[in-house]
Structure formats: C-alpha cells, structure tokens
Chain A
Amino acid sequence: MTADTLVREAASSAEPIRPAPSGRRRSARAHRGISGWAVLAVLLVASLLMLFPFWVAIVNAFKPPADYIADGPISIPTQLDFSALVNFWNGVDFNQKLLNSVIVSGSVAILAAALSLFSAFAIGIGRIRGRVWILAVFMVAFTIPQEALVYPLFVLTRDLYLYDTLAGVIVILAVLQSAFGTYMLSSVLGAFPAEVLEAARIDGATRFQTLRLIVFPLTRPTLAVLVTFFFIWTWNDFFLPLVLLPSADNQTVSVALGALSGQYTSDPTALAAASLAGILPAIVFFLIFQRTLMRGVNLGAIK
C-alpha cells in the first residue's frame, strides 16, 4: 500500500511544483465564514475519530486493572499504573523483539536500496536492452502474493539452513522490496542529466566510478526516501516473518503482537499495553522520518 504512495509521490514530484495558493485565493483567508468553521468542525470530529483508537490505547495502557473493572475503558485513569506495560514488556521479552525488528528492517532497507541502485543503474543509465521487459518482470516480484512463494521459500530456507534465521528473512525481503526500488529508481535515473554522464565519461571515469562518485551522491535524497520506506514496510511486514521466524527469540515486533490474538483476552489492560508497545515505535519513526517522507514529495526539486 505504502509502496504506491511512493510511486505517486515520485511521479507527482516529477511535475514542476506550482506556486501554492495564489494571491487571489489567499485573500479568501479573511472569509472564513460560518460554513468555513462548520466544515472545519466536521473534519476535526473525523480526525478525532481516527485518533480515538490511539487515545484509548494510551489511556488504558496505564490504567490500574481495578479502574478498568470499575469504570470501563473510557475513564481517565485515577493513577498511572505502569505494571501492565512492564508485565507485557518483560513477559514477551519485548526488548528482544525490538532488536530483531531493528536488525531485520535496517538490513533489509540498506540491502534493498543497494540492489535497487545497481539494477536501476543498468536500466536507467545503462539503458540495457530489454529494460522495459526487465522492469515488467521485476514488477511481478512486487505484486505477486507472498502466499504463492511462501511454501517453496519455507522449503528452500529449510534446505539451506536459513529457516528461522534473521539472515534468511533479510535476504528474501530485500529482494522483494528491491523490485519496487528498481522500478522507482529506474525512472529517476532515466532522467539523469546526460551532460553530467558525458562529462564523466570524457574524464575517463569507469562505470563503477560514475556510479559511486556521480550517480550515488546525486541520487542520495531519493535513496534516503527509499531506505525510509523499506525500513517502515519491513517493520510492518507480517506474513513472511510469521512463517519464516517461528521461534520466540527471532520474532519481530509485528509477529509477536500478531501472535497475541486470542491471548490475554481476560486482561484488557494487558492488551492495551501490548497495543501501546506496538504503537510507540511506529510513532517514533513517524516523527523521525516525517521530513524524509516530505522530501519524497519534493523529489522533483532535486532532480
């Protein structure tokens, strides 16, 4: 899903950025009017509804169980009780899951970006023959349901002793995600200024030097966006890690939380605490990466 965001952001950023609201429209700022406030109110209510699940997770994660039984899920806790969060954290060894997720997501992001850059270098700059077909085939990797690959991957990783290892999942996810990165970067590199490449060639740069000293630095903003997206997708990825990382020591955050379904049903504050533990890293990434994500929208300015 988010993959498509990137496509569109990249594609739309290819257009020149038009000046934002022009003078005439800005002058409308004064006329907020009753209808203006009404529309704003409706949108605020809608956004509160969107935020509501986050809010109840936070409120109940710190609620003493007695409060929950007495006052239900909506009341504000009378005192902060971290025991549910601490119990969950220690109970599932959440530190380990966080570490696993960081290792897997970080490695996949970097490996996939490197793979994407190499392939896109051949397609976008090298303009190798059959590139349209190669890209089309790569797109299959991006769209194919993982269910159609999972059992063979399960068998293959088992035969190669990569089953239930982070390395196995890293390689698989990196290849799958690089398909999208290749597609994205190829169109970016396809529009790479020809004069720059020409100049490098005249100066006697080898292909690898061109890649390392010219294409890589100039594409770094795009790569940063790709790395960010790859990281977040991998963090959120559920299906392949679920199948290929069965043991508790290797589970990622997503899998650990997904496996909770059905458990803890008698302990509502524990479930809220688990939800919060899953939400927190996502929020942190959102705050850290927000600028990179926005830069993705403005990619066109850099090209």
Chain B
Amino acid sequence: MTQLSIEPAAARRVRRERPAGYYWYIVPGAAGFIAIVLLPFAMNIWYSLTRWSGVGTPQFIGLDNYTRLFVDQTFWASFLHSAAFIVAMAIIPTAFGVFIAAVLFDYISPRFGTRIASFLRATFYLPQILPIAVAGVLWSWMYQPQYGIINTILRGVGLGDLAQNWLGDSDFAIYAVMNVLIWLQIGYTVVIFMAGLSRVDPALHEAAELDGAGWFQRFRAITLNQLRPEIAVVVITTSVAALKVFAPIFVLTGGGPGTATIVPAYFSFTNFFTTNRVGYGAAIATVLAVLVTVIAVVLLRYQTRNTEGFEK
C-alpha cells in the first residue's frame, strides 16, 4: 500500500488517466482479509512457537514444535497419505477425465447426439454437488462390514472371501477412502475438459481425419496437446485440494484405524481440539500452509500468464 503515497503532481497526473478514489472500494475486502486471514495466520504462527493447551498463557518455546515434527512418525505418515490422495484426487481423475471427456465430446456426441453426451456428463458430475459429509455418510454405510452393500454384493456373487472391513482394516482403509475421492472427483475433471474441448478448433480434427488418423491418433496428437493448459491447472488445483483433505477423513475413518488414514489437516485438528496441544497443531497447520502456498504460487504464475485483462 506504499503506492498510495505519491507526490501531489504525480497524483494529479494519475487522477486524469485513471480516476483515483477507487481505493475506497478495496477497503471492505482488504479489511476483511486482514481480520479473517492475515491476523489469524500471524496468530497461528505465534501459537506454533509456543506450548499452549488453549487455556492460560502460551509459553514461548521457539522452534521446538517444528523440531519435534521432524521426528514425528505420524506427521510423516500424514504426508504420505496426502501423496496417496494426490493420486486419488489429481492423477487418476485427470487421466480418466480427459479420456471420458474426449470420448463424450467427439465420439459419443457426433454419433448419438449432444443430449446423451450432456446426460452422461451430468451423471459423472452429480457426486460433485454433494456435501462431502453426505458422501461420507453414504459411503461409510456402503462399506459397513456386516450389512454394507459392497460386502453383500461380494457374498451374493460367491466372492464372500473378498469381503472386508473396508474402513476398519489398516491395509484397506486408505484405498477405501481413495475410492470415495475418485468417485467425487471424476465429474469435475470431465466437465472442465469438455469445456476445454469446445474451444479446440474442429478443423484440426477434420484435417487429421482426412489424413486418415484414427480416433486414438487424434486423441493423442490433438486433444491431449490442446488440453495441456487445462490439464496443468487441474492437476495443480486438485493436488492443492488433496493436501487439504479433511472432511472425508473426519466422516469416514477419523484418521484410523490407528494412523492408517491420518492427513495433515486432520492431524492438526486433533491437536487443536482433542489433545489440546494448540502449539503443535499450529506448527502442523503452518507447514501445511507453506506447502500449499508454494504450490498455489506456481498455479497463480501459470494462470496470470494465461489470463488477460488485469495485468496491463
């Protein structure tokens, strides 16, 4: 905001080209930002340097919380699970999404009409509109070991040996959660990539078709190439979202069994509100915030390069 203090002559010159006083309109947003984001984040960093149970006076302990994090198995496990959720929320949905979108857009739609393509797109998108808590309740019921629908079906087709306590077994829990996340995310990528495909010039496909290129060749050479900006943005944003996963863990597993599905967000939450180790929880949250911000900066740089309008 130092830009505000410019010398009077310059200010007058600026006013002629771009009427000043627009600054007033940023005040509500900026004030809200300072009160809701900046101040709390600064407080969070302060808490992370203290030992504090939430009552009484925080006791300054320097970087102890952070050094403790480094040797905390649970902390590392939580980031390992984040990596698994990047696969479930970013990698797999992008791979499937780009393929499904392409099939719907230039295979199904020309042959069976746009209505069928739109209908299919809507069915893929539907899980996205659910509150994640609702999706969690729904799936925890489907995964239930005794009466859950998945085990019922397995027993029904004679594969009863495969029936598991999906969320209660530490070997399977993480995959069970990943499955829910994939189900939630696929539609998001399908919708974005279909929107992206509508900006690809059909003449490209026509030319390739005339040259005798099959659907797969065109998919590889044209579609994937043209969708590169969308794919990059989707992978980055969904990876950021994967690092922030909380609700599915809260509803489905509570991080368990043991620490089999714990994630950074949930780990900091339990430190804040269950074990009352506020300083430690704040340290985890700070590390997570830094990590996410680094990725987000990459995203922002990428997007501003591609968005016109405000940088000039």
Contacts and interface: CB of A to CB of B under 8 A. Distances in A.
Given A57-B138, A115-B28, A43 B19 contact: no
B273 interface: yes
B43 A152 contact: yes
Interface stretch (A16-24, A79-87, A218-226): A16-24
Contacts of A44: 120
A122 interface: yes
Given A18-B202, A258-B247, A275 B36 contact: no
Contacts of A130: 1, 3
Nearest to B194: A297
By size class, the interface of chain B is 35 or more
Nearest to A280: B134
B272 interface: yes
- Tell me whether chain A's interface is mostly helix, strand or loop, or mixed: helix
Given A21-B202, A57-B138, A152 B40 contact: yes
A142 to B, nearest CB: 8
A261 B116 contact: no
Contact of A268 (B33, B134, B144, B299): B144
Contacts of A14: 308
Contact of B156 (A19, A57, A74, A126): A74
A144 B41 contact: yes
Contacts, number: 364
Contact of A238 (B29, B132, B233, B292): B132
B21 A207 contact: yes
A7 B28 CA distance: 23
Contact of A148 (B32, B41, B136, B183): B41
A9 B195 contact: yes
A148 B288 contact: yes
Contacts of B264: 147
Given A175-B32, A232-B129, A261 B192 contact: no
Contact of A149 (B3, B41, B135, B254): B41
Interface of B is mostly: helix
A12 interface: yes
A279 B134 contact: yes
5 contacts: A13-B195, A22-B202, A254-B133, A282-B131, A285-B129
Interface of A: 1-5, 7-9, 11-15, 17-22, 24-26, 28-29, 31-32, 36, 39-40, 43-44, 46-47, 50-51, 53-54, 56-57, 68, 72-74, 115-116, 118-119, 121-132, 134-141, 143-156, 171-172, 174-176, 178-179, 182, 186-191, 201, 207, 211, 232, 235-236, 238-239, 242-243, 253-255, 257-258, 260-261, 265, 268, 271-272, 274-275, 278-279, 282-283, 285-286, 297
Interface of B: 1, 3-4, 18-19, 21-26, 28-30, 32-33, 35-37, 39-41, 43-44, 47, 54, 100, 103-104, 106-114, 116, 120, 123-124, 126-142, 144, 147-149, 152-153, 156, 183, 185-188, 191-192, 195-196, 198-203, 205-206, 230, 233-234, 237-238, 240-241, 243-244, 246-247, 250-252, 254, 264-265, 268-269, 272-273, 278, 281-282, 284-286, 288-289, 292-293, 296, 299-300, 303-304, 306-311
